[in-house]
Amino acid sequence: MVEESTLMLWLLIASVVLNLITMVFVIILFGRMRDLKRSLQQEPHAKGEGAAPKQAAPSTLGGIVFCRHCGTQHDSSEEVCPNCKTPR
């Protein structure tokens, strides 16, 4: 009976230790997730300002572009805006 109770005690200690290890891992993971989110939020802002939006917009829209001067929608094959003649 004495051996059985000590075994149960060791099992209890082992489970508590396992729980503590899991908790520490979760806390570390959450800290890393926060760092990742911060770095992901900061990087596009720094790159987006330097990148040229003129070239990104026509490729995503697929043929149709918006004039950056007056906002008129026209085909990407047209080099100038049909409304205000602003080169794109």
**Contacting residues toward Zn ion, per CB under 5 A:** 67, 69-70, 72, 81, 83-84, 86
Closest to Zn ion by CB, 34 or 85: 85
Please list the residues that pair with 75 across neighbouring strands: 64
Q: How far is the CB of 64 from Zn ion (least distance, A)?
A: 14
Q: How far is the CB of 28 from Zn ion (least distance, A)?
A: 54
DSSP for 11-45, written as a single string: HHHHHHHHHHHHHHHHHHHHHHHHHHHHHHHHHHH
Cβ closer to Zn ion: 26 or 84? 84
